[in-house]
Amino acid sequence: MTLPAYEPASDEVELFEHAWRNRLPVLIKGPTGVGKTRFVTHMAARLGLPLFSVACHDDLTAADLVGRHLVQNGQTVWQDGPLTRAVREGGICYLDEIVEARKDVTVVIHPLADHRRTLPLERTGELLAAPPEFMLVVSYNPGYQNFLKGLKPSTRQRFVALRFGFPDEAREIRILQRETGCDALLARRLVALGNAIRRLDGVDLEEVASTRLLVYAALLIRGGLPVLAACRAALVEALSDDAEVTAGLEELVRTVLGE
C-alpha cells in the first residue's frame, strides 16, 4: 500500500506516534484546508491501522457514531456505528469538525478519551474495552466565530493537542509541486499569492486561501486554463461573494501572477 503523501511541518509525525503508543487521544486544530485530514490518513497508513472518518454535522447524534438497531426481514439487527467499529477492530476513529456535532456526542467520547478507554453500548448492554491499537482523533477549526459552538474545556482537556497552521513558504511550494506536478515558478507564485491573501484574514475575508485552494488553482492551470481564469475560479470567487472584495483580490492575482 502506498503511503498518502504528507509533508511534515515539524515534529507532528513523531508526536502522533508517541500519542498512539501511549494510548492518548489527539486533538488537531487549525483552519480549513491545511492538511488535517491528510495528516490523519497518512498516519493511519503509516501505523498500518484502519481509519474510520466521520465528518460531523449538526444533526449527528451519538447513535450515528455508536450504532443502532435495524429491522431486517422481520428480524432486528444491531448495526455498529463507525466509532464502535473502530473500537472493535482497533483502528483510528477520526471525528472531523467535532464542534459541529450534537452535544450528546461528547458523552460517548469522554469515557473513550480518558484512562478508562471504554465504550458503553447502552442499547445492547455491552461495555467495550478499547484494544491498545484504538485511537481517537478529533479536529476542529477554532477560526469560526460561532457564538454557540465551541469545544467545552472538559472535552478539550482530554486530548493531546496539535495546532496546524498554514505551511511555510518552502514547504507549501513542495506540497504544490508534489500534489500537482506544476513547475517551481508557478508553485512559488501561487504560494506568494496565497500569503498575500492570508494577510486579509479577519479583516476583509472570513477565511483565507488554504493550501487546498492553491492546489486546485495549480491543477486548473496545469490542465491548460489561463492563469487569471483559474485563480478567479479556484481562489477569488471561492473566498468572497462581495464584488468589491473580489475586485481587490483580482488585482492581487494580477500583481502576483501577471496578466
Residues that bind other proteins (CB under 8 A): 63, 68-71, 75-78, 123, 125, 145, 147-148, 189, 196-197, 199-200, 202-206, 242, 244-245, 247-249, 251-252, 254-259
Nearer CB in complex with other proteins: 138/236? 236
Q: Which is nearer to other proteins, 198 or 222 (CB)?
A: 198
Minimum Å gap between C-beta 93 and other proteins is: 22
Smallest separation (angstroms) from other proteins to the CB of 16: 31
Closer residue to other proteins in complex, CB, 64/179: 64
Find cell 495528516 and name the residue: 39
* Cα(46)–Cα(12) distance, integer angstroms: 13
Ranges of H-type helices in the chain: 12-21, 36-47, 62-66, 82-89, 104-109, 153-156, 169-180, 184-198, 211-222, 227-231, 237-239, 243-257
Take residue 213 and report the three cell numbers written for it.
485552494
Q: How far is the CB of 85 from other proteins (least distance, A)?
A: 19
**Between 25 and 82, CB nearer to other proteins:** 82
Do 11 and 52 contact (CB within 8 A), yes or no?
Answer: no
At closest approach, how far in Å is the CB of 187 from other proteins?
Answer: 15
The secondary structure of residue 100, as a DSSP letter, is: G
- In terms of CB distance, is 175 or 235 closer to other proteins? 235
Q: What is the DSSP letter of 201?
A: B
Element (H, E) at 34: none
The distance of closest approach from Cβ of residue 212 to other proteins in the complex, given in angstroms and rounded to an integer, is 19
Q: Which amino acid is at 75?
A: Q
